[in-house]
Chain A
């Protein structure tokens, strides 16, 4: 896959960990997902089976941000939820975890080292976003960034992973994303905010 598109996807992930507004995070996630879809289409040219996966990735890149935008509109926040850590600390943690993950990963022999490292970096960024951002919508995007990492590696394999990407994406849209969005609505209805720090009743 094109190094530029991989870099764009990783860069968008890093920025999502830093931006304040949910709208900006959704736009960056859309850009990341579409970059991934475009990259998959480029790789799949000439491979009939995997082009379906590439189309599925593009559709995912359109539909998921649309659903997230709907969620944002239906769960208004009076003001952006303050981050637990300042921007500089978040940048250090997120970029550091992505770099460490990429450095740890040995050569997997797929023939596309940039995609291998980009995939593991995106998974690390997704985990960091879930850990560092409090709003439910940011945590949902964190999950989806990590999934983008797995799909990046799958899409970079010549011939793709027949069936797995399509099934995974279909399942994402039908079940997991639906559940995550339903939870976000309920949390907002219950607490008047999507701030997960307000959900801190269960402690041992």
Chain B
């Protein structure tokens, strides 16, 4: 039955209205943050719009995933498919939580450069622009537009990384802008090669839905050049080794809520473009050509991250190197591309997002309570604030890949997927590096909880929001473990993500 709403938009167009609202709300909120008259109003506007945007993102994502394997909104200017749905839900949830946690960070930073209304408005504007661009990435039905959106994230997030105004933040921001822009230029060249070598005549040829057909006339050599350029360029933005040097600096210098967005939302969003490109060029390139770049970047990222996970380092920097490790694992899973590996990738993307953002949100009260933790390893948290200890403990426990949290399951699935894909050497090397990484993070976890505190702590403020967030995150991760075990392997969703029956 055709139900119509007052502006003559039929329910069949309802997803389009929601998508427009999803992107418009953070943009309007960004503009509105300069209009409101007080710091408190700017905070309230930021939080209210975040709740609305996050609700819309998660709702659209659930609709997209539930409708797997068909695209919910094919033939439109955006794409709402199961693959994008997984990432949209993650970006929506992390963005909402980052906005809700910003208040705590901004209040703490208010003795510094964030004291003025203009600085506060600037923060909210940049955060909303960054988030809007991120939300649009999984919805973009075009490789060229997706590239532009990732460029947009660079501009907005660079401003946020330098928010503290410290020289170290300036260095991190400059390194981030230069390296990621250079990487995206290489990607742009790859996109132009796709266009030129496929003989396309309109920008619509770069639509994800059309790309597989468009490239069918392309030579394998040209296809390989385009694929390598696109993936290598995106690697600089995903933070895969050896083009990762901006990642630890930017993550450690950005405000904690922004670090959470960078790690749990930006990196996977860019990785999604590389994944979609792999799926689109599947008809032109052989399996090895498609797999090798992902597996090579994945193993290199693990190999680079592991020695740093063994070193004592400040908490946020430790989380940054953990991001390098986890983006590597996800890359390897995409490279293996067997059904069980793809199921593992889905669980890993979601599990990493929850665990990592919880860690960064815990960093705000941690740094308030122990300012020395900005430059030295966090030690002996169990003797201090219970909420900070609980949040950091749960985050590190999950990131180390310990059961019953989902990263244990996802890593196991990816490893099994490697054997299933007939790549035992790569799977064995991954298992070895994962074991070493686990030992490093497990050591950091024990030190962080039970080590002897070296500095005095300031009394902590109300801990209730962090405790609620920790319990909710832990519960969500447990649900993810169960769902990942019971529902994902062999599901239509996994098949739709390129992990079809082998």
Contact = CB atoms under 8 A, between A and B. Distances in A.
Nearest to B246: A202
- What is the size category of the interface that chain B forms with chain A? 35 or more
Interface string B242-272: 0000001100110000000000000000000
A157 B198 CA distance: 11
A175 B221 CA distance: 34
Contacts of A127: 182
B173 interface: yes
Given A147-B188, A200-B171, A202-B168, A176 B181 contact: yes
Contact of B196 (A149, A157, A199): A157
A175 B152 contact: yes
B502 interface: no
B192 A154 contact: yes
Contacts of B173: 183
Interface stretch (B49-57, B154-162, B274-282, B382-390): B154-162
A38 interface: no
Interface string A55-71: 00000000000000000
B202 A146 contact: no
B148 interface: yes
A15 interface: no
B225 A108 contact: yes
- Which of A167, A180, A191, A202 has the most chain B CB atoms closer than 10 A to its own CB? A202
B148 A157 contact: no
Interface stretch (A2-10, A84-92, A118-126): A118-126
A193 B172 CA distance: 17
Interface in B181-202: 181-182, 185-186, 188-189, 191-193, 195-197, 201-202
Interface residues of A, number: 47
Contact of A168 (B148, B154, B313): B148
B203 A149 contact: no
Nearest to B321: A204
B219 interface: yes
B155 A167 contact: no
A179 B221 CA distance: 36
B144 A196 contact: no
A21 interface: no
A107 B152 contact: no
Given A179-B155, A204-B311, A164 B196 contact: no
A149 to B, nearest CB: 6
B419 interface: no
Interface of B: 144, 148, 151-152, 154-155, 158-159, 162, 167-168, 170-175, 177-178, 181-182, 185-186, 188-189, 191-193, 195-197, 201-203, 206, 218-219, 221-222, 225, 248-249, 252-253, 308, 311, 313, 317
23 contacts: A108-B197, A108-B225, A123-B189, A130-B178, A130-B182, A139-B178, A143-B181, A146-B186, A149-B189, A153-B196, A154-B192, A157-B192, A157-B195, A164-B206, A175-B151, A175-B154, A179-B154, A179-B155, A183-B177, A190-B170, A199-B171, A202-B253, A204-B311
The 8 closest A-B pairs by CB, nearest first: A175-B155, A199-B171, A106-B221, A163-B203, A150-B188, A150-B189, A146-B185, A110-B196
